[in-house]
């Protein structure tokens, strides 16, 4: 998989994996181009539960985030980088955003999302994993400004409220979670 012509990334512009609509890798491109042109890419996230399964970690994204800044989320995650699998990206992002390392991750959901943000088309293959943890959570200040534990019922109540400012890609990814019986 080679970087495609015209895909040189400006300094500080992360290069990410580009996919087709069916989910096959097709190359790489700078993140700015992926967002500007609505190119298909992939994102992975981790739903972090307490060891007893009764609580889920929820956080508020930094207002400075390029996408969904200032919104709430229950997935620590980000784009899949070149050479990474979605599981690799999920583990990396969990460590970067919440300071949680070395836990087992179980696949939870996968959807292809054709959405919109700030008037721009966003196309993303979304992967969710679940992990269990009761240790400390350490936020990466540039990405997360606050976080707390909620019960599944509290999270479901907020997710079903369309006025609650929640990352729309995670809301789409967790649609089946919302309709499934509580664990």
Instruction: Choose among 52, 53, 72: nearest CA to 165.
Output: 72
* Phi, psi for residue 158 in degrees, rounded to 5: -70, -40
Round to whole Å and give the CA distance between 123 and 18. Answer: 10
**DSSP conformational letter for 6:** T
Any known ligand binding at 14? no
- Using CA of residue 72, residue 43, residue 128, residue 47, what is the dihedral sign? negative
Encoded tokens for 34: 């992926």
Question: Concatenated DSSP letters for 56-77?
Answer: EEEEEE-TT-TTTTT-EESEEE
- The answer on whether 93 is annotated among ligand-binding residues is yes
Euclidean distance between CA atoms 77 and 136, whole angstroms: 18
d(CA 123, CA 97) in angstroms, rounded, equals 23
Find tokens 């997935």 and name the residue.
Answer: 75
Residue numbers belonging to the annotated binding site: 93, 97
Residue numbers belonging to the annotated binding site for Mg(2+): 93, 97
């Amino acid at each position: 998989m080679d970087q495609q012509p015209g895909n040189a990334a400006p300094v500080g512009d992360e290069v990410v994996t580009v996919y087709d609509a069916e989910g096959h890798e097709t190359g790489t491109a700078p993140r700015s181009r992926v967002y500007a042109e609505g190119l298909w890419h992939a994102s992975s996230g981790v739903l972090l539960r307490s060891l007893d399964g009764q609580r889920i970690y929820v956080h508020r994204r930094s207002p400075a985030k390029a996408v969904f800044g200032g919104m709430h989320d229950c997935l620590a995650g980000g784009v899949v980088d070149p050479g990474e699998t979605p599981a690799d990206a999920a583990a990396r992002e969990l460590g970067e955003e919440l300071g949680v390392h070395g836990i087992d991750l179980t696949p939870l959901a996968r959807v292809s999302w054709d959405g919109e943000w700030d008037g721009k088309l966003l196309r993303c293959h979304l992967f969710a994993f679940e992990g269990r943890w009761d240790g400390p959570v350490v936020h990466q200040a540039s990405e997360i400004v606050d976080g707390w534990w909620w019960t599944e019922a509290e999270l479901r109540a907020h997710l079903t409220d369309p006025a609650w400012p929640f990352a729309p890609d995670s809301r789409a990814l967790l649609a089946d979670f919302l309709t499934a019986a509580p664990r």
